[in-house]
Amino acid sequence: MSAPPKEVISELEALCQTVEHHSRLYYRDDKPEIPDQEYDRLFDRLLEIEKQWPELITPDSPSQRVGSEPLSGFVQVVHELPMLSLDKIVSFEELQRFEARIQKRLESEADISYSCEPKVDGVAVSLLYEEGVLIRGATRGDGAIGEDITHNVKTIRDIPLRLSGKQIPRRLEVRGEIFMTRAGFLIMNEKAIESGDKVFVNPRNAAAGTLRQLDSRITARRPLTMFCYSHGVLEGGEQPSTLSEVFECFDHWGLPVNPARHVCKGVHASYDYCQDLLKQRDHLDYEIDGAVIKVNRFELQDSLGMNARTPRWAMAYKFPAEEVATVLNDVEFQVGRTGTITPVARLEPVFVGGVTVSNATLHNMDEVERLGVRISDTVVVRRAGDVIPKIVSVVKSARKKGARNISAPDKCPICRSDIEHNEEEVLMRCTGGLFCRAQRTQSIIHFASRPAMDIDGLGIKLIEQLVDREILKSVADIYSLDVDTLSNLERMAEKSAGNLVSAIEKSKQVPLARVIFALGIREVGEATAQSLANAFGELDAIINASAESLEEIQDIGNIVAHHIRAFFDENHNLEIIDKLLKAGVRPIESAPINKDELPLNGRTYVVTGTLEAMGRSQAKEKLQQLGARVAGSVSAKTDWVIAGSGAGSKLSKAEELGIEIIDEAAFLSLLEQHDILV
Ligand code: IVH
């Protein structure tokens, strides 16, 4: 075999650098400089050369990122320096005691500087660089011995295969946490559901499961990332004197470090850092289980030394857990506004993710089956990042004798009407309609809610009371409520009764789209209601529209058209509408608008975070007026994301998907441009 020509060697070297450069711009910075085809062309050429001369393949070639043939097993790695764990604290007093112990040992009263960092919930790993080239990645394992996961680590785009910059040490062991972002986790699970693959319970398990893949081609397709937080072996090169200096060096060499780290002087500042971080927790795009507080100066760390397995110079300040075990006491079946029957778990109250949780949805009977859960089982409840609590798994080993199976009801638990089973949607539905007290209550709650008629002061508890006493039999009865009737109710003073009556009066004049939405027609959400209002202009025209003319409206298919027609064909519903109008409800109507002519027609927006000038629902209404579709979550179909302050995972998902993001100022000027008043 002939040796590769010199030109080929230098071409490959140049290609490695160029491809790695563009791959960083694309994957890490979201700022590609060259078109995808050009990138593919360069990459293909690189692969072509490597295929012809495999001896030229270097460990830092971009080709190493795509994964390789599955391994037959994991090889053990003995850590040159042990990977320690941390002692935990949960209060300011414990933090003070931590510092007092340090000061005593150091025989100094001086304030100590700490490097404070988020404690990322992922998998601890060690990366070994020799002459700047990544040669090995290993898990922490038991701290002394881990597993070789080099094949997987190399597929992670944020981890440099070769360090860049100046004064690179001859040997450097970098330690840190590999994790999955919340957005990456959601996208991955969505894809898994689509293709019928296993879904992961949480980002941490997903990261751990992915790193344990023997087939790194699978790892390469999963969105893992890393933050580096310390070093182990460091040979050749300058020895840093503080941890914050190490972070600077890491950053300079291209290693990912957490921007949320901070050096704090003394325990008060460190405690404030922890509290701030806790407030930020739900808005971060990765899961954390606390903060880590480490003495910043290595000299002091060395004098402090360690206990059996944990250093004396660091502490984990733990936040409330987001997954906790508790007991499932019972399952009740709740009936929603449109009759959908949902199993709801009644739990032994448990403190999880910072709040006490006693209920969790089980979604549907398929979910009950998938979990294999029984009454009296110990279950793991999860509440993370502001989402509603969910049962994620069952501790089967703790199952008690006589644990009861959960069976679906055969009649509506509220009104005893028959249940209709919708095979496709795995849903059960009560056929009782407004005869069913639960549906009646829910439809009134919906009618009065903010995006509908927005009746301030007519809340859930009050509505339940009014329905129970048969004062409210339908939404139309709301307009007969008077101060006398209301002030006779429990916990209702005359003043609040008066306020409520004025709020009811005020709700008589709202835009047509809100009235349509308030009626609670099946599958007619805010956006469809707006489309109907735009297309027909007035209520009568919608009531009389044929199924064909309804279907002509964009976004309305034959199923929704059928639901709309069925609603208005029902005499009972027409009577209610009649009563509403007689009571003085006057939807604000306007001439029909041709949707095609609206400036934002066909565009999908997502609004996230807090806007100064208006609430999110107002922002949504204004966008819909301009013809935009407003979605609740970010997906590949989103065109624009409007991000207010404190925007969290939706913003990061948008960034990840490369969706255009505009801030509040740009949004306001967009409205102004189209003469929409704020
Ligand atoms: S420092 C002696 N820093 O927490 C120093 N650990 O119980 C030991 N972790 O296994 C680690 N974020 O997986 C450190 N910024 C951070 C961290 C962090 C997460 C994890 C790590 C370790 C565990 C310690």
Q: Read out DSSP for 197-219?
A: PPPPSSHHHHHHHHHT-S-HHHH
Alpha carbons 426 and 390: distance in angstroms, whole number: 18
pLDDT of residue 459: 93
Residue 603 and residue 513 in one domain: no
Q: Average pLDDT in the 123-141 region?
A: 95
Cα(113) to ligand 1 centroid in Å equals 18
With a cut of 70, say whether residue 30 has pLDDT above it: no
What is the band of 555 on the pLDDT scale with cuts at 50, 70, 90?
confident
Task: Please give the tally of structural domains in the chain.
Answer: 5
- As given in the structure block, the two tokens for residue 328 are 């499932």
pLDDT of residue 626: 87
Which is the closest atom of ligand 1 to the Cα of 124? 13
With a cut of 70, say whether residue 29 has pLDDT above it: no
Q: What residues have CB less than 8 Å from 54, skipping those under 6 apart?
A: none
pLDDT of residue 516: 96
With a cut of 90, say whether residue 250 has pLDDT above it: yes
With a cut of 90, say whether residue 68 has pLDDT above it: no
With a cut of 90, say whether residue 167 has pLDDT above it: yes
Alpha helices in 107-223 (DSSP H): 150-153, 182-194, 203-211, 216-220
- Say if 405 falls within a structural domain: no
Cα(123) to ligand 1 centroid in Å equals 9
The 3-state DSSP class for residue 138 equals strand
- Say if 307 falls within a structural domain: yes
With a cut of 90, say whether residue 124 has pLDDT above it: yes
Could you say which of 398, 420, 443 is where a domain stops? 398
- Say if 222 falls within a structural domain: yes
Does the beta carbon of 128 sit less than 6 angstroms from any atom of ligand 1?
Answer: no
Q: Which domain holds residue 232?
A: 88-318
Alpha carbons 168 and 250: distance in angstroms, whole number: 10
**Is residue 226 a contact partner of residue 178, using CB atoms and an 8 Å limit?**
yes
Residue 300 and residue 381 in one domain: no
Q: Average pLDDT in the 472-494 region?
A: 91
- Say if 203 falls within a structural domain: yes
Distance of CA 202 to the CA centre of its chain: 11
Tally of CB atoms within 10 A around 302 = 10
Q: Average pLDDT in the 163-181 region?
A: 96
Q: What does DSSP say about strands 660-663 and 288-295: parallel, antiparallel, or unpaired? A: unpaired
What is the band of 425 on the pLDDT scale with cuts at 50, 70, 90?
low
**Is residue 66 a contact partner of residue 155, using CB atoms and an 8 Å limit?**
yes
Cα(119) to ligand 1 centroid in Å equals 6
What is the band of 551 on the pLDDT scale with cuts at 50, 70, 90?
very high
Residue 293 and residue 353 in one domain: no
Calculate the average pLDDT of the chain: 91
Residue 96 and residue 38 in one domain: no
Residue 309 and residue 192 in one domain: yes
Cα(356) to ligand 1 centroid in Å equals 28
With a cut of 80, say whether residue 78 has pLDDT above it: yes
Residue 308 and residue 379 in one domain: no
Residue having the nearest C-alpha atom to atom 21 of ligand 1: 124
Comparing CA positions, the residue from 76, 271, 287 lying closest to residue 180 is: 287
- Say if 78 falls within a structural domain: no
**Is residue 364 a contact partner of residue 373, using CB atoms and an 8 Å limit?**
no
**Is residue 366 a contact partner of residue 346, using CB atoms and an 8 Å limit?**
no
Would the pTM of this model clear 0.85, i.e. be above it? no
With a cut of 90, say whether residue 424 has pLDDT above it: no
Q: Average pLDDT in the 605-620 region?
A: 86
Could you say which of 582, 606, 630 is where a domain stops? 582
Q: Mind spelling out the 3-state secondary structure of 442-484?
A: HHHHHHHCCCCCCCCCCCHHHHHHHHHCCCCCCHHHHHHCCHH
Active site residue 119: yes
Span 97-115, pLDDT tens digits: 999 999 999 999 888 999 9
**Is residue 143 a contact partner of residue 247, using CB atoms and an 8 Å limit?**
no
Span 520-538, pLDDT tens digits: 999 998 889 988 998 999 9
Residue 148 and residue 264 in one domain: yes
Cα(85) to ligand 1 centroid in Å equals 7
With a cut of 90, say whether residue 678 has pLDDT above it: no
What is the band of 60 on the pLDDT scale with cuts at 50, 70, 90?
confident
Q: Average pLDDT in the 76-89 region?
A: 93
With a cut of 90, say whether residue 387 has pLDDT above it: no
Span 271-299, pLDDT tens digits: 999 999 999 998 898 999 999 999 999 99
Does the beta carbon of 273 sit less than 6 angstroms from any atom of ligand 1?
Answer: no
Which is the closest atom of ligand 1 to the Cα of 117? 15
Does the beta carbon of 114 sit less than 6 angstroms from any atom of ligand 1?
Answer: no
Residue having the nearest C-alpha atom to atom 9 of ligand 1: 119
Amino acid (1-letter code) at residue 519: L
pLDDT of residue 655: 86
With a cut of 90, say whether residue 501 has pLDDT above it: yes
Does the beta carbon of 315 sit less than 6 angstroms from any atom of ligand 1?
Answer: no
- Say if 424 falls within a structural domain: no
Q: Average pLDDT in the 588-605 region?
A: 85
Residue 495 and residue 605 in one domain: no
Beta bridge partners of 361: 344, 390
Q: Average pLDDT in the 656-674 region?
A: 90
Overall residue count recorded for the chain in this entry:
678
- As given in the structure block, the two tokens for residue 46 are 């690189």
Residue 480 and residue 535 in one domain: yes
pLDDT of residue 70: 78
Residue 447 and residue 546 in one domain: yes
What is the band of 616 on the pLDDT scale with cuts at 50, 70, 90?
confident
E strands, 61-219, in order: 76-78, 88-89, 113-120, 123-130, 133-139, 145-147, 171-180
Q: Catalytic residue among 119, 154, 294, 390, which?
A: 119
pLDDT of residue 28: 67
Beta bridge partners of 177: 124, 227
- Say if 524 falls within a structural domain: yes
Residue 313 and residue 329 in one domain: no
Choice between 370 and 447, residue whose per-residue pLDDT is larger: 447
With a cut of 90, say whether residue 308 has pLDDT above it: no
Give the CATH number, domain containing residue 203.
Answer: 3.30.470.30
With a cut of 90, say whether residue 620 has pLDDT above it: no
Q: What percent of the chain has pLDDT over 90?
A: 65
Does the beta carbon of 284 sit less than 6 angstroms from any atom of ligand 1?
Answer: no
Residue 51 and residue 118 in one domain: no
Which is the closest atom of ligand 1 to the Cα of 123? 13
Alpha carbons 485 and 491: distance in angstroms, whole number: 13
Least confident of 83-92, 199-208, 560-569, 642-651: 642-651
- Say if 642 falls within a structural domain: yes
Does the beta carbon of 125 sit less than 6 angstroms from any atom of ligand 1?
Answer: no
- As given in the structure block, the two tokens for residue 41 are 């062309």
Could you say which of 553, 582, 611 is where a domain stops? 582
Residue having the nearest C-alpha atom to atom 23 of ligand 1: 85
Which is the closest atom of ligand 1 to the Cα of 261? 15
